[in-house]
Amino acid sequence: MHCHSHADYSDPLLPPPSGLSASAAAVSRKGLLKPLIRGRLHILSVSLRTSTRAQYSGSRASYLTFCRELDIAPFPSSPAMLMDFAIHCIHVLKLDSSTTALRLRAIGAYYEYVRTRLCFRHVRNPLRDPELLELMRMLGANFKKAGGGRIALSAAELFGLFRQGFVTRTRRGRWARLFGLCLNFAMLRYTAASELIVCYRVDVLSDGTETVTFLPDSEVFIYSDASIGAEAVTFVIRSDKNVDARRAADDGGRRAFVPGDLPKLGIAFAFELRSYLLAIRPPSGGPLLVYPDKKGYGFAPKPSRSFNTYLRESYRRAFPDVLPEYLARIGSHSGRKTLAQLLWDFGFSRQLIATAGGWFIKREAVDLYFRTSASLILRALLTLSLDASAPASGPFSLPAHQRD
C-alpha cells in the first residue's frame, strides 16, 4: 500500500503563510505534529475498553488462521473473503451470529486503524460493503443461538439460598458462601472477586478474644460509615472488565460498597467476613478467596470444582424441587443480575445501578458534573434489605412460577 497525501497537513490547499515551500514547511511542523499524532492515537485507543481490544485481537487471529488454511493473503480483504469467513464461522466453527459479527468488526477496526491513524485514506473498509452488511443482517436473523445466560433470583430465592443452602461446617463450604456473598451483594464479577487481595492481622484482646485489623494495602476492609450510622464493607477492584489498568493506577480502581448488616435478608456481611478470616486464615497479602484444601489448613492454587457447582448444590439444598433446566441457568453472574434487578424494581436509577455494579454506560454531558456516592449506594441496599418480601422464617420450597 502506498500512502496518499491527505489534505489536513501534508498537502494543504493554500501555500504556507510563512512563505516556505511546502516541503520545508512540512519539515518545520514535524516536531509539533509528532505529539499530536500520538495524542490522537491515545484518544482513539481509549475509546475501546481493554476487554474489547483483547477480543478484537483474538478475533483477528481466527481470521488469519482461516486465510492460512486457504493459502491466501489476509490483507487487503475483499468483501467476498469476509463473507466466506462469516460462513466459515457459522457452519464450520459453529459460532453464534453475534460472535461472528464480533470477528468481522475486529477486521473492520483494523481497517479504520490503517485509514484514520496511519493516514492511508485511500484504503476502503470492506465491512462497509452493502452485500456484506446484508449478509450479516441475514445471519443475525436466522443463525442466532438460543440464549443460555444466567438468570436473576427473586428476593425470596436469595433469602432461602443464604439461609439454608450453603454448608458452613467445612472450610470449602464457608469459602463458597463468602464467594457467593461477594458476587451477590457487592455485585462483583467472578474475576474481580477471585483477585481481591486481603491484608490483615489477627490481634488478641485483653479478654482473650481475637479481632481482625485490616492493613492499608488491603483491597477489602470494614469501616464505620457515618452516612448510615453503621459498619460497611468496601472492596477496591483493580482487575475487572471495565477497570483500565492505567486508571486503576491513578485513582486506585473502582470501589464496591455493602452495608455491614442486611437483617431482613439474613446477611451480616461484616460479621461473616471477620469470622471467615479468623476461621479460615487466608494468607495476608494474598487473595481473599483462595481455595482451601480439603484437609488441614492449607490452600490449593485453584478450585477442584468450579464455584458454579457449589452454588447449584446450595440452591438445590434450599429448593429441592428445582427443575434441572432452571438450575442450569443459575451461575456466578446471577448474583449481579439479582441485585441489579432488585434495585431497578425499587425505582433506583440506571446510573446508580451501573456505579454499584461496575457496568459501563454511555454518559451524557450532565453525568460529568456528579458522581454516585458511596452513601447513596449503601442507603439503596439498606432500602432493599428493609423492604424485601422474603419470609422471615419457615421452610422454603420452589416458588410457584418455577414449578412445572
**CATH code for the structural domain at 155-360+368-402:** 1.10.443
**In the predicted structure, residue 375 carries a pLDDT above the cut 70:** yes
Residues 109-125 have a mean pLDDT of 75
Residues of each domain in the chain carrying CATH 1.10.150.130? 48-142
Decide yes or no: CATH 3.40.190.10 for domain 48-142: no
Higher pLDDT, 278 or 7: 278
Higher pLDDT, 341 or 121: 341
Residues of each domain in the chain carrying CATH 1.10.443? 155-360+368-402
- What's the pLDDT at 143? 83
Cβ atoms of 253 and 261 closer than 8 Å:
no
Higher pLDDT, 385 or 82: 82
Residues 239-256 have a mean pLDDT of 67
* Tens-place pLDDT, residues 167-189: 989 999 999 999 999 999 999 99
Residues 63-88 have a mean pLDDT of 91
Among 11-20, 51-60, 389-398, the least confident range: 389-398
Non-local (6+) Cβ contacts of 180 within 8 A are 161, 162, 166, 307, 311, 314, 335
Query: What pTM value is reported for the model?
Result: 0.69
**In the predicted structure, residue 46 carries a pLDDT above the cut 90:** no
* Tens-place pLDDT, residues 120-159: 767 788 888 999 999 988 988 888 776 556 888 988 898 8
